[in-house]
Each structure stands twice: as structure tokens, then as C-alpha cells.
Amino acid sequence: MYLNLDAIDAKILFYLQKNAKMPIKEMSEYIHLSESAIHARIRNLEERGCIKNYVAVLNKSMVNKKLTSFTGLQLRTHTQYNLITSMELISKFPEVINCYMVNGDFDFLLHVAVADMQEYHSFFSNALLKVKNIETVKTFFVLDESKADNRIDLSRRSRMRH
Amino acid sequence: MYLNLDAIDAKILFYLQKNAKMPIKEMSEYIHLSESAIHARIRNLEERGCIKNYVAVLNKSMVNKKLTSFTGLQLRTHTQYNLITSMELISKFPEVINCYMVNGDFDFLLHVAVADMQEYHSFFSNALLKVKNIETVKTFFVLDESKADNRIDLSRRSRMRH
DNA sequence: TCTGAAATCGTAATCAC
DNA sequence: GTGATTACGATTTCAGA
């Protein structure tokens, strides 16, 4: 089951998703709650596994990964063995930053980050196409990211507003 | 231009992408470099914008977002105005955790997180289908995530190995 | 369950070399 | 780059609301 988070927990998680190193003092001013209460709640959220971990997010263009894509893969034969072994192999490619098994037109959807088109070509030819049982590959190059921070909205906004 | 990172920087970024709160002392043991040297390098990487920020990553199933999808959208008419305004609107939907403009069969690829299929249905009907100029919507539900940590591999492994 | 204060601890920042 | 020192913020504890 999931945790029942109140409005204060949601606010804490909002700030932590934006800045994991926000001083508790600062957060306590935003939320209008004492530092000790904030601290206790954060520890609670960590202990109950609501917060998975804290990570550094890199600036892709500064680490020479200017080209990203979503790449859909379809396998030829769909045995359990094929799916698992392909997924394991694909996940190990250094260019693949995320690998999802999906339903629909593709079996896998990969999030790929490379330096440039030449590197993508190399990845495509030397890695992807050498995976056994690949039927089709379809690439969606990312042209623009209007939102790409992976933040989960926990405010209880109703769908009715739209 | 991008930064030229040496092997030590790559290692530091590897650990920070895994655990933003790793004590410098621990990292200094792994990398075999003094704490002050590590510290100086981290500050440098931060100041040069290589590290964008530090964030908390939530456990989706613990915050009642058990169902995720990638949803491809195609617009009917492709004026600059349509693209921009649609993107801005779509990015504001609380269910959309990432929104990418892409080439290929779709104009936008959305990363969506909701509680369950009922909530997805509501999002689909009450939000997505009410965006002006939507031609088609194609949903890929995520069945499994074999790699979903968004970590960028900065080790200089050659494609030739595959 | 919260507040506010006080003490402790560990880490990060700074310094001289 | 190293190693030692200083300063800061996080963490724990507690009495009390």
C-alpha cells in the first residue's frame, strides 16, 4: 500500500524534489513549521521508503551529451527469455540512461543520451542492431524539453479544473 | 562548449549521481584522493554548471503513483504558435512529469505518472483530449523499468566493445 | 504531535604548506 | 594536490504546550 501523505508532507517533498540540500531552516520558514517538526517528518519519509534517494542531476550539455532520444524497439519473437535477456543487455549500454518495457507498438522504450549524431549512429549500428531478435527500431530525437525534472506533483489538485 | 572532465571528475560524478549525500570522506576512500581535493573538484563542477542541482527521488509506488506511461501526441496543424502554446499547457498538467518535443511520428512525448488506470482515464479524457489541435494520442504504459535512474555514464567506454 | 532551546556530532569550508 | 583547523548545519534530546 502507499503512504497517506498530508499537505505538509507534500510540501516537504515538493521542496526536496527541487533542492535536496535546502537547509531545514529555510524550509521551516516556507512551510511555517518548526525545524524539529520538519526534521522528524523528513526522517519519517526516508525511513518509510517514500524518498528513494538523493542524487545529483547533471547538465547534459556540459558533460558532452547534447543529443538525447527516445528509441522504441520491437522484438521479433516474444518469449519470456527473449524479453528478459534483451532488456538486461540493453540496460547495460552506456548510452541508455533509462530503459522501460512498455505495451503497444514497442517492447522497449529507451532514453538515450549521446554527444552528437555521429555517436548516435555508432550506438545504433554497433549496439542496437546487434541485439538478437530486433524487429524494428524507431527513434524520436528530443528537440526541446519543456519539462524534464522528473518531479512528481503531490498537491491534490483536481482534474476538474482543466 | 562542454567541460573536459578527467577520469577523477567522472568518478566523482558517478558517485554523486548515485548518492548526493555520500560523505566526502567515503568518496575520498573510493577514489584514493584527499578530502580537500575532492571537495575542491565538486565545488568546481558545481560552479561551472556541470552539476545542475541535487534532488530527492521519490518512490512512485509509495506516493500512490503506481501507473506510469509514455504518451505520444500528434497535433493537427503545426504552426509555431500551436506548438509552443500546446507545450506550455501540457507541461502544466500535474500528471505530466516530463514533456519532450520530438521529431518523428509524434510532436510531443509525455512521461505521465498517475495512481491507477481510472486516474489515467480521467487525465486522458479531461486533460489531454481537451488540448486544442490534438490529432492523435498513443499511450505506452510502462510494464517494467529495468533502468530508470537517469544516470549519465561518463566513463570513456568504447562502442567497439559491443 | 507540535514548539523552542540546548548540546552534540559530523561534515564542509578554509587555511597554510 | 595534502593535512590540520575552523565553522556551520544537521541531528538528538528535552521540557513543555
Q: How far is A84 from chain B (nearest CA, A)?
A: 9
Same domain for B97 and B126? yes
CATH number for A22: 1.10.10.10
Q: Which of A103, A113, A150 sits opposite B141 (nearest CB)?
A: A103
Please list the rounded mean pLDDT of every run of 10 residues in chain A (162 residues): 85 97 93 94 94 97 97 92 94 98 98 98 96 95 97 81 41
- B77 and B137 in a single domain? The answer is yes
Binding-face residues of B in 88-147 toward A, CB within 8 A: 88, 90-91, 93-106, 109, 111, 113, 119, 122-123, 126-127, 130, 138-147
- Count residue pairs from A and B with Cβ separation < 8 A: 261
Quick check: B52 pLDDT over 70? yes
pLDDT at B162: 41
Which three cell numbers, joined as nine digits, stand for A97?
540512461
**In this predicted structure, what is the pLDDT of residue B161?**
45
Name the residue among B109, B156, B16 with its Cα closest to residue A115: B156
Residue A122, helix vs strand vs coil: helix
Residue A160: predicted pLDDT: 52
pLDDT tier for residue B78 given thresholds of 50, 70 and 90: confident
Count of CA atoms in the C-beta half-sphere (13 A) of B78: 8
- Quick: pLDDT tens for B58-76: 999 999 999 999 999 999 9
- Kindly state whether residues B134 and B72 are assigned to the same domain: yes
**Is the separation of the CB atoms in B16 and A55 below 8 Å?**
yes
Q: What is the pLDDT of residue A77?
A: 85
Cell 489531454, residue? B128
Mean pLDDT of chain B, nearest integer: 93
pLDDT of residue B71: 98
Footprint of strand C on the protein (CB under 7 A): A 8, 32-34, 36-37, 40-41; B 21, 23-25, 35-36, 39-40, 42-43
Residue B41 sits in which domain range? Answer: 7-47
> Are B98 and B129 found together in one domain?
yes
B126-141: average pLDDT: 95
More confident residue, A80 or B116: B116
**C1’ D13 / CA A45, Å:** 21
pLDDT bin (cut points 50, 70, 90) of residue B156 is confident
How many structural domains does chain B have?
2
